[in-house]
């Protein structure tokens, strides 16, 4: 699992002998906050944070290997009963509520026509670019934690000035009245892909109980999924749900140009994932145990498979990188159950045995490449 590391406060343009640090790393270093690296963070709910005086909250950054130094993960902890200072950010930001209850108030310009949404654990929302927002923890006795995702590292690589994006007083063009009403409206179902329901909006209240799902037969395990589209911004997300004591087909994305991998957040369930480099048959396997609150990021083109060894369906949210990378994405490549190596099944069954459980994978899947899963349980 990843461990927090301190980022040195180095100048962006280094002196002779100094390690070169890019504009984003320089800015992160200036905050003095911890950074979680590696492949995974075991539990966002309990990860160690540090005080960020400027924003009056505890926080940390998540910069996993698969993000490619192009996207930012950030944890914000709002103290009990606290309202954070207003913040205007020049980039779109997706926020997943890890725990707690609260309010997000959003406005443009002088603060007229403010809009407020009420969130709780497992809510997913968008903070739109160039709008000022303010976050409030409505619980008086417990803190709230949020996981933020944006393209700040990539933006600073092009415009190496944080003040161009953070609390910039300039007024950027905004939405007209009709666009704004549509943007902040309740999420609605839209025409989707053949194998995935699609919902569009800026706020999705509770992913832990979200039941508008479509069968995802191509991934196996009688799984279901749903896509979340945020109108007019370069990010999308999807959630996958698959039954207890089963596992999905191992797959990878590519070939194609480099693209940062999706940031995966466990909404519920207990299990593990296995990841390894696609171009090395003898590559060491990275095992990521997970439960609610685990965050991990399969690097570009790495094989990865997900295994549910618990007693309930597993749900994970995948927040996709900006669409500039998705445009170059080729179809996923899957390893069929009939072609997988023996260790896959052995590791899965061993993990189950440790919990006194047995596999619910139908034996036919290992011999019949055309096997069709039964979808008796619509919840996945």
The per-residue pLDDT for range 130-187, each reduced to its tens digit, is 999 999 999 999 999 999 999 999 999 999 999 999 999 887 666 666 667 666 677 7
Calculate the alpha carbon distances from 252 to 69, 233, 276, 304, 314 in Å.
20, 25, 10, 6, 20
The answer as to whether 15 is a domain residue is yes
Q: Are residues 349 and 241 in the same domain?
A: yes
Do 54 and 99 fall within a single domain?
Answer: yes
Spatial strand order of the sheet with 303-308 comes to 286-290, 271-276, 303-308, 251-253, 332-334
CATH label of the domain that carries residue 238:
2.60.120.10
Alpha-carbon span 264 to 206, nearest angstrom? 17
Tokens of 343: 């260790």
290 pLDDT band, cuts 50/70/90, is very high
The verdict on residue 244 lying in a domain is: yes
**Which of 174, 205, 236 is the last residue before a domain boundary?**
174
Does 354 have pLDDT greater than 50? yes
**Residue after which a domain boundary falls, among 142, 174, 206:** 174
Q: Per residue in 269-286, pLDDT tens?
A: 999 999 998 777 677 899
One domain for residues 163 and 222? no
Q: Answer yes or no: is 379 within a domain.
A: no
pLDDT of 8 over the 70 cut: no
pLDDT digits 0-9 by tens, 292-346: 999 999 988 899 999 999 999 999 999 988 866 554 445 678 999 999 999 999 9
Report pLDDT for 188: 81
Share of the chain above pLDDT 70, in %: 84
Distance between CA atoms of 40 and 62, rounded to whole angstroms?
9
Long-range pairs for 222-225: beta carbons < 8 A, 24 or more residues apart: 222/246, 222/373, 222/374, 222/375, 222/377, 222/380, 223/248, 223/380, 224/378, 224/379, 224/380, 225/195, 225/196, 225/197
Same structural domain, 104 and 226:
no
348 vs 180, more confident? 348
Considering the domain architecture, whether residues 115 and 72 belong to the same structural domain is answered as yes
Considering the domain architecture, whether residues 164 and 192 belong to the same structural domain is answered as no
* For residue 10, pLDDT beyond 60: no
- Same domain? For 152 and 197 the reply is no
pLDDT for 26 beyond 50? yes
- Asked if residue 170 and residue 240 are part of one domain, the reply reads no
Of residues 9 and 296, more confidence is placed in 296
Cis preceding linkage at 255, omega within 30: yes
Residues 233 and 142 in one domain: no
Q: Which of 139, 174, 209 is the last residue of a domain?
A: 174
Q: How far apart are CA 36 and CA 4, in angstroms?
A: 4
Give the closest residue to 89 by CA, choosing from 108, 115, 76: 108
Q: Which domain holds residue 343?
A: 185-366
Q: Does residue 372 fall inside a structural domain?
A: no
Domain-embedded: residue 180: no
Question: Are 214 and 353 found together in one domain?
Answer: yes
Domain total in the chain? 2
Q: Name the one residue in this structure whose structure tokens are 């309202």.
A: 83
Domain membership of residue 33 (yes or no) is yes
- Residue 376 lies inside a defined structural domain of this protein: no
Residue 373 falls within a domain, yes or no?
no
- What is the pLDDT at residue 378? 44
pLDDT digits (tens, 9 = 90+) for 65-115: 988 888 999 999 999 999 999 999 999 999 999 999 999 999 988 777 899
| Residues 189, 168 share a domain | no
| pLDDT given for residue 6 in this prediction | 47
Q: Quick check: 379 pLDDT over 80?
A: no
Q: What is the pTM of this model?
A: 0.90
Give the up-direction half-sphere exposure of residue 174: CA atoms within 13 A in the CB hemisphere.
15
Residues 6+ positions from 225 with CB-CB distance below 8 Å: 195, 196, 197, 213, 214, 216, 219, 238, 239, 240, 241
Residue 9: predicted pLDDT: 42
Query: Any idea which of 166-170, 218-222, 251-255, 329-333 has the lowest mean pLDDT?
Result: 329-333
Q: What is the pLDDT of residue 19?
A: 60
Same domain, 104 and 159: yes
């Amino acid at each position: 699992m990843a461990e927090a590391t301190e980022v040195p406060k180095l100048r962006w343009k280094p002196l002779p002998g100094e390690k070169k640090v890019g504009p984003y790393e320089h800015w992160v270093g200036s905050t003095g906050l911890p950074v979680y690296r590696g492949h995974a963070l075991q539990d966002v709910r309990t990860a160690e944070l540090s005080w960020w005086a400027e924003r009056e909250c505890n926080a940390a950054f998540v910069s996993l290997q698969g993000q490619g130094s192009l996207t930012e993960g950030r944890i914000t902890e709002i103290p009990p009963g606290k309202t954070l200072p207003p913040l205007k950010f020049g980039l779109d930001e997706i926020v997943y509520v890890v725990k707690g209850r609260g309010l997000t108030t959003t406005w443009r310009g002088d603060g007229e026509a403010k809009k407020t949404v009420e969130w709780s654990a497992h809510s997913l929302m968008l903070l739109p670019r160039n709008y000022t927002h303010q976050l409030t923890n409505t619980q008086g006795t417990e803190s709230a934690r949020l996981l933020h995702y944006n393209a700040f590292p990539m933006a600073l690589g092009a415009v190496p000035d944080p003040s161009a994006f953070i609390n910039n007083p300039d007024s950027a063009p905004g939405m007209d009245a009709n666009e704004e009403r549509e943007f902040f409206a309740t999420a609605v179902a839209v025409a989707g892909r053949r194998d995935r329901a699609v919902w569009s909006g800026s706020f999705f209240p509770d992913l832990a109980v979200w039941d508008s799902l479509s069968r995802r037969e191509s991934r196996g395990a009688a799984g279901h999924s749903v896509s979340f589209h945020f109108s007019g911004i370069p990010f999308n997300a999807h959630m996958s749900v698959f039954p207890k004591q089963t596992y999905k087909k191992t797959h990878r994305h590519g070939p194609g140009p480099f693209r940062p991998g999706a940031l995966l957040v466990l909404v519920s369930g207990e299990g593990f994932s296995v990841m390894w480099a696609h171009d090395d048959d003898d590559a060491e396997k990275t095992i990521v145990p997970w439960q609610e609150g685990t965050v991990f990021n399969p690097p570009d083109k790495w094989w990865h498979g997900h295994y549910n060894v618990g007693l309930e369906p597993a749900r994970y949210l995948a927040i996709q990188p900006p669409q500039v990378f998705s445009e170059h994405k080729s179809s996923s490549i899957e390893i069929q159950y009939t072609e997988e190596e023996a260790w896959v099944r052995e590791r899965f069954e061993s993990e189950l045995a440790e919990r006194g459980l047995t596999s619910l994978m139908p034996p036919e899947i290992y011999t019949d490449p055309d096997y069709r899963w039964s979808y008796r349980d619509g919840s996945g």
